[in-house]
Amino acid sequence: MPSESAPAPVASVAGALGGAVPAGTTELGIDIIKVDRIRASIERFGERFSKRVLTPGEQRYVRMRPETFAGRWAAKEAVSKVLGLGVRGIGWKDIEIDRLPTGQPSVRLHGRAAARAEQLGMERVAVSISHESDYAVAIAFGVRTTGGRYVFPLDIDDRLDDREKRLLGRMERLRELHEANAALDPGTSGDSEPRVTAAIPNPEDRS
């Protein structure tokens, strides 16, 4: 989170392809996936699918449960969008979705993902996972603490469907609530995390 003297984060979804972005800018990533897609991939590819997508720690937690696996899939996709490259440009296991003792998901970046976050001036990425009916939804956000380069294309708003736009609005409300709570309690650590594409996922599709 930015220091108290830093400007308040400004949600950034569209902007220039390149150039400097000030510290305090918030980048958002949203992904949604139908649980049945993951279930079908598990049935088709078995453990090979899990080993391709999940780290050993994630595998131990997921235990081939379709709903839990779908949540991790969506979270990795959402985080990759925050980093501006997508999973194809990073790698599934470079983004690890861990679990805090409180049960909240947390993000650990490795390899290319960690290098990309450093390039963007982004010290921390947070994610929230929820399940809506038969879908797993994840929303991730990262705050640029030192500034960096902008990575989202100009037409990013046009790429969001109605469901993603609704979820984005929900994310913005949660972020505002989080900031209000942080202002009331300056000692907060910022660990609370707000709560986001139709063929069968193939583990060979992405590195």
Q: What is the pLDDT of residues 86-137, one digit of tens each?
A: 777 788 999 999 999 888 999 999 999 999 898 888 888 999 999 988 999 9
Asked if residue 98 belongs to a domain, the reply is yes
Asked if residue 61 belongs to a domain, the reply is yes
pLDDT in tens, 139-181: 999 888 765 554 444 445 565 667 766 766 676 676 667 667 6
pLDDT in tens, 4-50: 333 333 344 433 334 455 556 778 899 999 999 999 999 999 999 99
This prediction's pTM: 0.63
Q: CATH number of the domain that 16 lies in?
A: 3.90.470.20
pLDDT in tens, 134-149: 999 999 998 887 655 5
Asked if residue 179 belongs to a domain, the reply is yes
Range of the domain at 174: 10-184
Higher pLDDT residue, 88 or 3? 88
pLDDT at 21: 53
- Count of domains in the chain? 1
pLDDT in tens, 56-73: 999 999 999 999 999 999
pLDDT at 66: 96
Question: Per residue in 132-168, is it b (16+ CB within 10 Å) or e — as a string?
Answer: eeebbbbbbbbbbbeebebbbeeeeeeeeeeebeebb
pLDDT at 153: 44
Asked if residue 205 belongs to a domain, the reply is no
Bridge-based pairing state of the strands 105-109 and 95-99: antiparallel
Evaluate if residue 1 carries a pLDDT over 90: no
pLDDT at 147: 58
Asked if residue 194 belongs to a domain, the reply is no
Asked if residue 197 belongs to a domain, the reply is no
Asked if residue 4 belongs to a domain, the reply is no
Asked if residue 132 belongs to a domain, the reply is yes
